[in-house]
Amino acid sequence: MDKKLLEYLSGYLTSQRLELFNKILNMRTRYLTVVLEDIFQPQNASAVLRTCDCFGIQDIHVIEGRNEFKVNGEIAMGSSKWLTVNKYKGADNGNVEMIRKLKAQNYRIVATTPHLNDQELPDFDLSKGKTALVFGSERPGLTDTLINEADEFLKIPMYGFTESFNISVSAAVILHHLTQKLRENDTIDWHLSDDEKDELKLDWIRKSIKRHELIEKRFYKGNLP
C-alpha cells in the first residue's frame, strides 16, 4: 500500500471526513465475520449488510448457489460501499472455497440455527478465537455441507410459538450481543492492524472522490524518478 498516495488523496477530503473515517476504522473488526449462504430475498441480505456496517463488521462472505446476490439500495443505505464483500459461486464449490479460506485464516465456523442446540447466544465464548457466523437461506436453512463443516452451533433463546427469526433479525440480534461483548473484553485484540486501516482508508477515499483514477495518474506521473 502506497502511503504517499494515501496522504496525497487525503488532501481531496475535508478534515471532518477524514476524522470520521479514522473514528470508524478504530471501531472496525475482522475478529467477527458474517457468511450468507444463498440468500433468497435481496431485502434480507441488504438488511444484513446494513447491520454489519452499523456494528463495525468489515468482512462479509456471500455464497451464491441458486440465488444471485443483489443489493437493495433503499434497504442497504449505501452500507455495501464501506464493507469488504467476498463472493463465492456455486452451492457446493462456493461452500468449500469459503470454508477453506476462512479456516486457513483461523476462523471457527459457527452455524446459526434454531434446530441444533449446541449453545445459546448468552453462553457463546468469544475468547476461543476468530468467529465466522454463518446464516442460511430463508427457506431450506443451512446446507448439509455447512452443517457438517461447522465447528460449533449457535442459537438465539426464544420463548414463543414461532421457532425462528427472520434472517436479518437473527443477524441483528446476534451481532448486537457479540460486538458489545467483544468491545467490553479487554483480553481480546479485535482491532484492525495499522496496515489494514490504511488499506481500507485508501479504498474509502477512492470511493469518495470522483474520477480518482485520473488523480492517481497525475500523482504517479509527478512522482516518477
User: What would the mean pLDDT of 79-104 be, rounded to a whole number?
Assistant: 86
* Mean pLDDT on 64-91: 80
In-domain check, residue 220: no
pLDDT(44) > 90: no
Q: Would residue 29 count as lying in a domain?
A: no
Cβ of 196: how many Cβ atoms within 10 Å?
15
Supply the pLDDT for residue 145.
Answer: 85
Q: 21 in a domain, yes or no?
A: no
Give the range of the structural domain holding residue 128, as residue numbers without chain letter. 3-7+34-202
Q: Which CATH number characterizes residue 121's domain?
A: 3.40.1280.10
Within a domain: residue 74? Answer: yes
What is the domain count for the chain?
Answer: 1
* 216 assigned to some structural domain: no
In a domain, 106, yes or no: yes
The tens digit of pLDDT for each residue in 188-215 reads: 999 999 999 999 999 999 999 999 989 9
